[in-house]
């Protein structure tokens, strides 16, 4: 597929650089209204669409605030957005140069307890698959995964051999999600976390809770507990 | 500023919905090459630019993988991107309906230790401002902030009364950053964390480490320790 942009990317880039410089060096201060597109197009000697593209990029960066009627202002509190890429755990471990393996500690088919059902917006007692998995890098515990899968939104899950393909990977490969809830927190390892992660009870663990949906309902709800000392990097 | 898009947003939206449905229902499976823009434009009876816009949105969602020569494919491992908005702590506390206050526990001007200097890519011993601040909501500790500020990139910091304006807010209002390193982890509260957060030593705390830069160098490096039980929500 060939893209033929209507705008000139290298000129747009030059405008982005110059506008960013004016903001960073506070020639244009926070809250200031900046010149409109037509004025900037004249100043930079480019098409208005190129200015539009450049301002759009700066708005996505959080430096500009664009409103249809009020014009474009320098953001007063630059939105501090950071992007996290939540990797497939096997790829993450292999990407770090370690040998990946996993172990299914428990697998049951049964009714979802109230807190899980509520998190997944399903009726209490909905039949689901409950899996507890440990992911290892070079035979050292990397992550403990406690997961509920809803066969209504992920049909076929009842028949998968999760010893062969880990639940995270099977779901990612088969059930793209449309929306999800993600939250980070810290917990002191309980007795089970400590045993599975081969650490001491009470050790601080980074916890990621995630519930994902497709058009059939909640696919899965998972609690990931990372090994002690793990740090998740975000890119702004 | 009036935006006059060359594409039709409602038609692009309809295409996004239909293509997403085909992927979710696995008519188009992971790794499949999808029809090219011209074919889709004919199928949907729209301008090619509208198809391009729709596919771009789906690529940003992570469902499609677009390559100039190889065409557009359904992503094999949908990138699991999540966006975190890192709020201004005062706004976060007030947004939760609590009264905000802060207390500067320590403020010094002195040489940066090796680990901080290295994190900020500055020479060891560079003179910086070191601040320790507690942020409160309804007089309960919300967050402990341990911050180094580099006056070379944030001139004027030496003369600010941080009892009046907290360091987070002063920096955000005055020094937009161009890039930053952000990482999340969990730590057991040490004696100081425990005292300042009014909790027990050893309690698991969510930790955010952030270092930000502008074109003059590293502005600041901060370690934020959140109160026990705090959960940071990301939106995918």
A181 three-class SS? strand
N residues, chain A: 236
* Cβ-based contacts of B6 with chain A (< 8 Å): 6
Rounded to two decimals, the ipTM of the complex is 0.73
Mean pLDDT over B139-156 rounds to 95
What pLDDT, on the 0 to 100 scale, is given for residue B170? 87
pLDDT of residue B1: 39
Report pLDDT for A178.
77
Residue B9 has pLDDT above 80, yes or no: no
Q: Give the pLDDT of residue A79.
A: 53
Interchain CB distance below 8 Å, B180 and A236: yes
Which of A75, A84, A178 is nearest residue B82 as measured by Cβ atoms? A84
* pLDDT, tens digit (0-9, with 9 covering 90-100), for B176-192: 777 888 899 999 999 99
Instruction: Name which of A68-72, A125-129, B31-35, B229-233 the model is least confident about.
Output: A68-72
- Rounded Cα distance, A29 and A26, in Å: 5
* Chain Cα centroid distance, residue A213: 14
**Structural contact between residues A96 and A226, judged by C-beta atoms closer than 8 angstroms:** no
Q: Tokens 């890429």 appear where? A: A85
Q: Which of B24, B78, B230 sits opposite A185 (nearest CB)?
A: B230
Residues of chain A with pLDDT under 70: 1-7, 77-81, 235-236
Partner-chain contact B183 A233, CB within 8 Å: yes
Computed on alpha carbons and rounded to an integer, the radius of gyration of chain B in Å comes to 24
How many other C-beta atoms are found inside a 10 Å radius of the C-beta of residue A159?
Answer: 7
- Asked if the Cβ–Cβ distance from A236 to B20 is below 8 Å, we say no
Q: Which two tokens stand for residue B143?
A: 């967050």
Share of chain B above pLDDT 70, in %: 94
Nearest CA in chain B to A48: B3
* Predicted local confidence at residue A80, as pLDDT: 63
What does the domain layout of chain B look like in residue ranges? 9-74, 89-226
Neighbours of B227 (CB within 10 A): 19
The whole-number pLDDT of residue B84 equals: 72
Rounded percentage of chain B residues whose pLDDT exceeds 90: 56
Residues of B in contact with A207 (CB under 8 A): 186
Q: How far is A234 from chain B (nearest CA, A)?
A: 5
| DSSP 8-class letter at A221 | E
**Per residue, what are the HEC states of chain B?**
CCCCCCCCHHHHHHHHHHHHHHHHCCCCCCCCECCCHHHHHHHHCCCHHHHHHHHHHHHHHCCEEEECCCEEEECCCCCCEEEEECCCHHHHHHHCCCCEEEEEEEEEEEECCHHHHHHCCCCCCCEEEEEEEEEEECCEEEEEEEEEECCCCCCCHHHCCCCCCCHHHHHHHHCCCCEEEEEEEEEECCHHHHHHCCCCCCCEEEEEEEEEEECCEEEEEEEEEECCCCEEEEEC
What confidence score (pLDDT) does residue A21 get?
Answer: 82
Q: How far apart are CA A30 and CA B181, in angstroms?
A: 23
What's the mean pLDDT when you consider all of chain B? 88
Contact (CB, 8 A) for A152 and A209: no
Q: Tell me how many residue pairs between chain A and chain B have CB atoms under 8 A apart.
A: 175
Quick one: CATH architecture of B9-74?
Orthogonal Bundle (1.10)
Rounded to whole angstroms, the Cα distance separating A59 from B150 reads: 27
DSSP-derived secondary structure for A108-142: EEEEPPHHHHHHTT--TT-EEEEEEEEEEETTEEE
* Coil, strand or helix at A84: strand
Write out the two tokens for A85.
């890429």
Q: Judge: A84–B81 Cβ closer than 8 Å, yes or no.
A: yes
The residue with greater pLDDT, B5 or B211, is B211
A215 chain-B contacts, CB cut-off 8 A: 21, 24
> Nearest 5°: phi and psi at B200?
-90, 145
* pLDDT reported for residue B79: 53
* Position B62 pLDDT exceeds 90: no
Mean pLDDT of B193-197: 98
pLDDT score recorded for residue A128 = 96
Domain B89-226, CATH homologous superfamily name and number: Chorismate lyase-like (3.40.1410.10)
B106-121 per-position pLDDT tens digit:
999 999 999 999 999 9
d(CA B148, CA B108): 10
Preferred mutation among B51, B185, B211 to probe A, highest tally of A CBs within 10 A: B185
Q: pLDDT tens-digit profile of A133-167?
A: 999 999 999 999 999 999 999 988 988 899 988 99
The pLDDT of residue B178: 77
Q: Which of A150, A162, A157 is nearest to A106 (CA)?
A: A162
Please answer yes or no on whether A184 and B82 come within 8 Å at the CB atom. no
Q: What is the DSSP string of A8-23?
A: -HHHHHHHHHHHHHHH
Asked whether the beta carbons of residue B188 and residue A183 sit closer than 8 angstroms, the reply is no
Determine the straight-line distance between the first and last CA of chain B, rounded to whole angstroms: 29
User: Alpha-carbon distance B139 to B205, whole Å?
Assistant: 19
């Amino acid at each position: 597929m060939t893209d033929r942009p209507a705008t000139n990317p290298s000129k747009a880039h030059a405008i982005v650089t110059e506008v960013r410089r004016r903001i960073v060096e506070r020639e244009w201060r926070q809250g200031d209204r900046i010149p409109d597109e037509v004025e900037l197009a004249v100043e930079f000697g480019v098409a208005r669409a190129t200015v539009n593209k450049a301002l759009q990029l700066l708005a996505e960066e959080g430096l500009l605030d664009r409103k249809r009627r009020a014009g474009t202002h320098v953001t007063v509190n630059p939105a501090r957005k950071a992007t996290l890429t939540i990797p497939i755990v096997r790829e993450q471990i292999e990407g770090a140069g370690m040998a990946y393996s996993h172990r299914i500690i428990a697998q049951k088919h049964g009714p979802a307890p109230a807190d899980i059902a509520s998190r997944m917006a399903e009726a209490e007692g909905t039949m689901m698959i409950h899996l507890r998995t440990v992911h290892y890098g070079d035979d050292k515990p990397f992550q403990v995964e406690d997961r509920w899968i809803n066969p209504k939104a992920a049909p076929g899950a009842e028949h998968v051999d999760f010893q062969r393909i880990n639940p995270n990977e099977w779901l990612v490969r088969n059930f793209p999600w449309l929306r999800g809830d993600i939250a980070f927190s810290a917990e002191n390892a309980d007795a089970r976390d400590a045993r599975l992660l081969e650490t001491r009870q009470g050790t601080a663990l980074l916890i990621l809770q995630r519930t994902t949906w497709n058009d059939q309902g909640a696919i899965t709800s998972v609690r990931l507990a990372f090994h002690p000392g793990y740090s998740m990097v975000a890119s702004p």
